[in-house]
Amino acid sequence: MKGTPPRKIGVFVCHCGKNIAGVVDVNRVVEDISRLESVAFAMDYKYMCSQPGQAMIQEKIREKGLEGVIVAACTPNLHEATFRKAASKAGLNPYCVEMANIREQCAWAHQNDPEKATRKAVEIIRTMIQKTAEDKPLYEGSIPVLKRAMVIGGGVAGIQASLDIADAGYEVILVEREPSIGGHMAQLSETFPTLDCAQCVLTPKMVAAGTHPNIKILAWSEAREVSGYVGNFTVTIERKASGVDWTKCTGCGMCMEKCPIKIPAEFDRGLGVRKAIYSPFPQAVPNKPVIDREHCLHYAKGKCGICQKVCEVGAIDFDQAPEIIKEEVGAIIVATGFDIYPKENIGEYGAGKIPDVIDSLAFERLLSASGPTSGEIRRPSDGKIPETIVFVQCSGSRDPEKHKPYCSRICCMYTAKQALLYKHAVHKGRPYIFYIDIRSGGKNYEEFVARAQEEGVIYIRGKVSRIYQSGDKVTVVGVDTLLAKPAQIDADMVVLAMAMVPKEGSDDLRKVLKITADKNGFWTEAHPKMDPVGTTTRGIYLAGCGQAPRDVPDTVAQASGAAGKVISLFSRETLSLDPMIVSVDEELCAGCGLCVSVCPYEARILDEKKKVAIVNEALCKGCGACMAACPNSACIHKNFSKKQVLKMVDALS
Amino acid sequence: MNENFEPRVVGFLCNWCTYTGADLAGTSRIQYPPHVRIIRVMCSGAVDPTYILKALLEGADGVFIGGCHPGDCHYLTGNYKARRKIVLMKSILETLGLEPERLWFRWISASEGQKFADTMTEISDEIKKLGANRMKEFWNV
């Protein structure tokens, strides 16, 4: 039956109330269209998407034996699925139903010219008739689903997603780049607006993930390669060399205690120290150390080896090599999180050279009871308790000319929290906050900011133009826009609420996963409103700050959302495949392999024996790049074929 | 310039960015000249050079191709493929005696309704300056 197109086409023109009919003369459209050869039936109706409208279409499909349907109404992005579903109930293959977009791309855009809009509407329908005449009935294929998930990134988002999926009864592999899961939340002191301790709420979840029978944590590991497709991914993971045999290590910590090398601890933002063999913090999960080869004396000079001597179980393995493993999973959640925009990038705020100008994450470590100062707020330069602290919001955020154009969303709230906690710790202390606007949208957030103000935090509306060292003070020069006066404060310490940026390396991971990111490097969601946890690659979902800046409750909610998507995927034995993909006509294919090289999804291979290209239907996303590249027109994009497009072009001339 | 000349422009719009941007222009009721006829394609990278040629040989006064911004392609790299093809097509058009200025290519995202409308206005104005595509007359000799 190849090449036999549906001939009897029905056209249903929608008024959309006055949205279309108020501009386009729908009667004339129906009249003009009815004259065309392949149109078996045409009608108009006030609201085609309504129940009676849909019923009318179904009735006409049965009555007239329609082989193709065109609904001339809104954009296909809105109601294509609605009408396809309705038509299939009446026995018509859903892929023989098309939308002619005469609302968004005609009536609404040419409201002042009804005559031309009417003519344009007729032409739009005429092109769609050409397409529909060649539409083939298509059937969805199916693929099996491997009910095993991978979560990349073990911050609070990754932990929550892993727990949700594991609790639903599915296996989860949680891949974490650092030696321990926990992410940035483990660094925080207390969380707004309730002031509950971050560690107290996070560590039970870390332990739950660490001990869950369905969760396998691969810490100190990174995903290097992903192949396959939804339901059937293969992920290549590098288990980095830790220098410690974790299967033998008991986590006693003796090696860390005896190691003679001290270096600034990343976990404490450089304010504390760690050893060359270290685990980032005491509650680490897994609680196993790694050796920092750059600083370890054994690797640098071939001597020391104290850790090896003190380890009672002989777990130190200096010659350990990285291990490459492969894991097969059906779905992947990416939760790689954020970094803090470096304060070194802001010259007018001291470019990171003033010791008492620190970023907000470092201040969290000063506030934290497990931090380098055991929770006492002491400034880095001389350990003095600061009497005046200036907090600078929007440091690097909302600055499209020089830094990041976006709002980092959580800074207003954590700055209020930090200022309040400082006030609680140092009663006589004077916290000042420079702000542009206060963005406190969220449950009990506005009240929290009000509380900070009531308890003595001084808010100054304006930007800071310069920060410099003057004697043992740090001078902050800005403007108070409410008083319309310059503002200058000699502070003991300055805390910069730096912008959030996507985690370092997330662009490399993006390429590995074949997903997209916006211009700021944050992952792009499948739809900003209707599918905020999906990606453009089916089976890969997003959670946390890698997608956009957000606070802990939103992160946890999104992680549970992503986990819900995975669980729903796993609730089925097989998945349906979009049939609007590309096929290869073997008789026309010359086996040149051009399509193999242009395919962005590796959905093509060349059959060396038959000398023809073969499509992996599960990998093909139907972009049509191969069709444009094929010199023999052997690639046929189903229902977007070259023949169809050329006939549509014809209809326009 | 003939003020009454109504150019016919065939637009190949990528489903994910520019087509949705055109929808947004409509939803926002931004008005632009009714000269473009839109053909939805899944990706700007799927626009075959024959589509462009066919349109111009059949008498279209202009061809517009709209794709996602660099780095934003739904299919990762389709928009780059389109960009390369357009450059090539422009030189081919020249050899065929067609003005390369009739072929337009723009990155327009799903959120750039205003940019879509502005581009349509710009194309209409520029094509009006060029005048009608006389290619079809030659065929009809």
Give A270-308 as a 3 state SS string: CCCEEECEECCCCCCCCCCCEECCCCCHHHHHCCCCHHH
Distance from the A579 Cα atom to the nearest Cα atom in chain B, whole angstroms: 14
> Does B131 contact A at CB distance below 8 Å?
no
Q: Which of A437, A471, A501 is the last residue of a domain?
A: A501
Give A200-213 pLDDT, tens digit per residue.
Answer: 999 999 999 999 99
B contact residues 95-114, partner A, Cβ 8 Å cutoff: none
Give A5-47 pLDDT, tens digit per residue.
Answer: 447 999 999 999 999 999 999 999 999 999 998 899 999 999 9
Nearest CA to B19 among A559, A640, A278? A640
Q: Quick one: pLDDT at residue A406?
A: 96
Within-domain flag for A651: no
Rounded distance, CA A443 to CA B28, Å? 32
SS3 A643: helix
> Does B88 contact A at CB distance below 8 Å?
no
Q: Closest to A640 (Cβ–Cβ): which among B41, B45, B73?
A: B41
Do A344 and A477 belong together in one domain? yes
In sequence order, the 6+-apart residues with CB closer than 8 A to the CB of B50 are A642, A646
Prediction ipTM score: 0.95
- According to DSSP, residue A385 is labeled P
Within-domain flag for A114: yes
Comparing alpha-carbon positions, the chain B residue that sits nearest to A648 is B39
Do A443 and A557 belong together in one domain? no
Q: Closest to B23 (Cβ–Cβ): which among A105, A110, A514?
A: A105
Q: Closest to B75 (Cβ–Cβ): which among A524, A623, A642?
A: A623
Nearest 5°: phi and psi at A32?
-65, -45
Do A251 and A227 belong together in one domain? no
Residue A106 maps to which CATH number?
3.40.50
Within-domain flag for A647: no
Do A530 and A591 belong together in one domain? no
Give A345-390 pLDDT, tens digit per residue.
Answer: 999 999 999 999 999 999 999 999 989 999 999 999 999 999 999 9
Average pLDDT of chain A to the nearest whole number: 94
Rounded distance, CA B127 to CA B61, Å? 7
Rounded distance, CA A579 to CA A617, Å? 9
Identify the band that residue A3 occupies on the pLDDT scale cut at 50, 70 and 90.
very low
Q: Which domain holds residue A205?
A: 141-238+322-336+504-575
- According to DSSP, residue A267 is labeled T
Do A64 and A122 belong together in one domain? yes
Do A348 and A465 belong together in one domain? yes
Do A495 and A346 belong together in one domain? yes
Q: Closest to B10 (Cβ–Cβ): which among A108, A622, A649?
A: A649
Rounded distance, CA A453 to CA A437, Å? 14
Cβ B52 vs Cβ B88: under 8 Å: no
Do A536 and A411 belong together in one domain? no
Within-domain flag for A556: yes
The count of domains in chain A is: 5
* β-bridge pairing A68-73 and A9-14: parallel
Residue A477 maps to which CATH number?
3.50.50.60
Rounded distance, CA A183 to CA A192, Å? 18
Residue B81's H or E segment, with its range, is helix B78-95
Q: How many residues does chain A have?
A: 653
Do A112 and A146 belong together in one domain? no
Contacts of A649 in chain B (CB under 8 A): 10, 39, 51, 54-55, 58, 60
Do A346 and A476 belong together in one domain? yes
If one counts every other C-beta atom within 10 angstroms of the C-beta of residue A647, the result is 17
Distance from the A113 Cα atom to the nearest Cα atom in chain B, whole angstroms: 9
The rounded average pLDDT for each run of 10 residues, N- to C-terminus, in chain B (141 residues) is 83 94 94 96 94 92 94 84 93 90 93 94 95 79 52
Structure tokens at A336: 């790689």
Do A474 and A495 belong together in one domain? yes
- Min mean pLDDT across A123-132, A160-169, A201-210, B73-82 is at B73-82
Cβ A161 vs Cβ A183: under 8 Å: no
| pTM exceeds cut of 0.90 | no
Q: Are A105 and B27 an interchain contact pair (Cβ–Cβ within 8 Å)?
A: no
Do A512 and A632 belong together in one domain? no
Interface test with A, best of B20, B23, B74 (most A CBs within 10 A): B23
Within-domain flag for A522: yes
Within-domain flag for A298: yes
Residue B54's H or E segment, with its range, is helix B49-57
Q: Which of A575, A607, A625 is the last residue of a domain?
A: A575
Cβ B64 vs Cβ B36: under 8 Å: yes
Within-domain flag for A402: yes
Within-domain flag for A310: yes
Q: Which of A275, A292, A320 is the last residue of a domain?
A: A320
Q: Are B46 and A109 an interchain contact pair (Cβ–Cβ within 8 Å)?
A: no
Rounded distance, CA A419 to CA A438, Å? 14
Rounded distance, CA A67 to CA A180, Å? 60
Radius of gyration of chain B (CA): 15
